[in-house]
């Protein structure tokens, strides 16, 4: 039985994959996670991404006249499924969107060999900003180091000098949670505050009583949180229970999910989350999605979810990808672009205020631009605050001070390249972050 099974699957797969039909469309697969432990946070993001592409297909007939096939490949946030999806889609895909940090870690070196752009908006490796080294990886509009820098800036702007203060850094004990540490440590040394990292193990996400006991004992002035999935709801309910002043509690953009805050409602008032996206209900694109996608039954979303931060962020992510596609099409004079051409498109995004208005995204994403050396864009973001029912903007646009850690980006990227030698780089590029 064994050899039959193997032979049949090998042959069946070979033929099936070899004869995949090539239609006039751009294949931009999304390695989605609507199942598994992180599904609750994944679904609104996936819906937002899918709905924006559906809107482009409905309203404009795709981008540059070519339909977008934004098919999802379900990973359930598991790295094994993620690699399966990557291998399955890479044949015809012009981009890969890996989503989880674990999948990104594995796919990142492969994309450099397979030459497929990897689009990880607002997640992944912070050193991906160095486009010379990570020529196929993009994490615009902002990276985790930008987020850490903006949070510190905001705290300084609110409470004055941080010297002598104590900031607890509550984070998932996982590559994702450790990402901002280098920048936070740099600021702690430079500005004279005490940084207290408090890791939350993957198994303790829902029960953080030990961590919050420590926070109560240490009495930090602020708690900065790098959390994801069940960890956010756990931390927020625990903070309410221990009566930690919510206005001194700030999360990264993945810790700003409406559903997590709705659990505590008014008690969560004052909680903040830095974000490079905002769900502006008055933006034209929101109305168009409602009319041309949702009302036609093409969306899997619902009215309540569409008001949320994560859904809006999903829309912005797809808008960035579509902008990259449009750039590439205009530059190369062809609708049917390939992966290499899309890379050029993503490297030359110039999302000015005018362009944002033109796209109907006003107030939903800050302006930014990328170059061959700058794959993050460093758009900056807004501090969002929970008012008891929804997130509102609590600050003007904050811009990260990239100069402070540009060297760090370069050295970390170089270190990655040496440990993965031989690593193909973009030697021609002269731009910097």
Residues binding other proteins (CB under 8 A): 1-19, 32, 34-35, 71-74, 76, 79-81, 83-84, 87-88, 101-102, 105-106, 109-110, 112-113, 125, 173-175, 178-179, 181-182, 201-203, 300, 412, 419-422
> Do 240 and 269 contact (CB within 8 A), yes or no?
no
Of residues 107 and 346, the one with the C-beta less far from other proteins: 107
Work out the burial of residue 158: count CB atoms within 10 Å of its CB; fewer than 13 is exposed, 13-18 middle, 19 or more buried: middle
Of residues 94 and 162, the one with the C-beta less far from other proteins: 94
Of residues 49 and 101, the one with the C-beta less far from other proteins: 101
Query: Least distance (Å) from other proteins to the CB of residue 167?
Result: 19
Radius of gyration over alpha carbons of the chain, in Å? 21
Q: What is the DSSP letter of 93?
A: -
Of residues 5 and 163, the one with the C-beta less far from other proteins: 5
Of residues 352 and 420, the one with the C-beta less far from other proteins: 420
CA distances from 188 to 149, 217, 380, 409 (A): 11, 21, 21, 18
Q: Does the N-terminal peptide bond of residue 141 adopt cis geometry, omega within 30 degrees of 0?
A: yes
Query: Least distance (Å) from other proteins to the CB of residue 412?
Result: 7
Q: Between the CA atoms of 315, 318, 319 and 325, what dihedral angle is there, to the nearest 10 degrees? A: -170
Of residues 88 and 393, the one with the C-beta less far from other proteins: 88
Of residues 9 and 350, the one with the C-beta less far from other proteins: 9
> Do 240 and 267 contact (CB within 8 A), yes or no?
yes
Q: Does the N-terminal peptide bond of residue 422 adopt cis geometry, omega within 30 degrees of 0?
A: yes
Q: Kindly state the tokens that stand for 332.
A: 């190369």
Query: Least distance (Å) from other proteins to the CB of residue 16?
Result: 5
Query: Least distance (Å) from other proteins to the CB of residue 165?
Result: 25
Query: Least distance (Å) from other proteins to the CB of residue 72?
Result: 4
Taking the C-alpha atoms of residue 163 and residue 186, their distance in angstroms, rounded to an integer, is 14
Query: Least distance (Å) from other proteins to the CB of residue 334?
Result: 27
Query: Least distance (Å) from other proteins to the CB of residue 8?
Result: 4
| CA-wise closest residue to 202 among 33, 39, 37, 41 | 37
| CA-wise closest residue to 244 among 260, 222, 274 | 222
Of residues 110 and 390, the one with the C-beta less far from other proteins: 110
- How is 256-297 classified by DSSP, letter by letter? --HHHHHTTGGGGTT-EEEES----TTSHHHHHIIIIIITTT
């Amino acid at each position: 039985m064994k050899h039959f099974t193997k032979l049949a699957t090998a042959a069946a797969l070979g033929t099936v994959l070899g004869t995949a039909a090539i239609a006039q469309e751009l294949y931009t697969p999304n390695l989605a996670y609507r199942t598994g432990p992180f599904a609750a946070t994944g679904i609104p993001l996936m819906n937002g991404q899918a709905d924006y592409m559906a809107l482009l297909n409905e309203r404009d007939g795709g981008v540059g006249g070519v339909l977008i096939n934004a098919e999802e490949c379900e990973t359930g946030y598991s790295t094994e499924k993620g690699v399966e999806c990557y291998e399955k889609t890479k044949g015809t895909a012009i981009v890969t969107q890996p989503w989880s940090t674990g999948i990104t870690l594995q796919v990142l070196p492969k994309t450099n060999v397979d030459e497929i752009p990897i689009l990880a908006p607002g997640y992944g490796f912070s050193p991906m900003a160095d486009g010379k080294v990570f020529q196929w990886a993009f994490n615009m509009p902002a990276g985790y180091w930008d987020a850490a820098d903006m949070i510190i800036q905001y705290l300084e702007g609110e409470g004055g000098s941080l010297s002598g203060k104590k900031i607890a850094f509550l984070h998932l004990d996982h590559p994702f949670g450790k990402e901002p540490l280098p920048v936070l440590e740099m600021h702690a040394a430079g500005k004279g505050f005490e940084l207290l990292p408090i890791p939350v193990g993957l198994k303790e996400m829902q029960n953080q009583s030990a961590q919050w006991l420590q926070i109560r004992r240490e009495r930090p002035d602020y708690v900065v949180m790098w959390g994801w999935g069940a960890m956010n709801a756990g931390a927020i309910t625990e903070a309410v229970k221990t009566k930690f002043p919510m206005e001194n509690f700030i999360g990264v953009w993945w810790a700003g999910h409406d559903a997590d805050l709705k659990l505590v409602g008014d008690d969560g008032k004052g909680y903040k989350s830095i974000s490079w996206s905002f769900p502006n209900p008055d933006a034209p694109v929101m109305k168009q999605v409602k009319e041309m996608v949702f009302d036609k039954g093409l969306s899997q979303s619902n009215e309540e979810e569409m008001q949320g931060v994560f859904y809006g962020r999903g829309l912005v992510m797809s808008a960035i990808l579509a902008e990259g596609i449009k750039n590439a099409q205009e530059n190369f004079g062809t609708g049917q672009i390939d992966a290499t051409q899309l890379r050029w498109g993503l490297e030359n995004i110039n999302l000015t205020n005018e362009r944002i208005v033109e796209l109907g995204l006003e107030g939903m994403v800050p302006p930014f631009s990328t170059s061959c050396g700058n794959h993050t864009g460093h758009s900056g973001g807004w501090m969002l605050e929970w008012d008891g029912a929804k997130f509102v903007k609590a600050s003007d646009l904050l811009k990260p001070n990239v100069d402070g850690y540009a060297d760090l980006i370069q050295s970390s990227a170089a270190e990655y390249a040496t440990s993965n030698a031989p690593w193909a780089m973009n030697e021609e590029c002269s731009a910097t972050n």
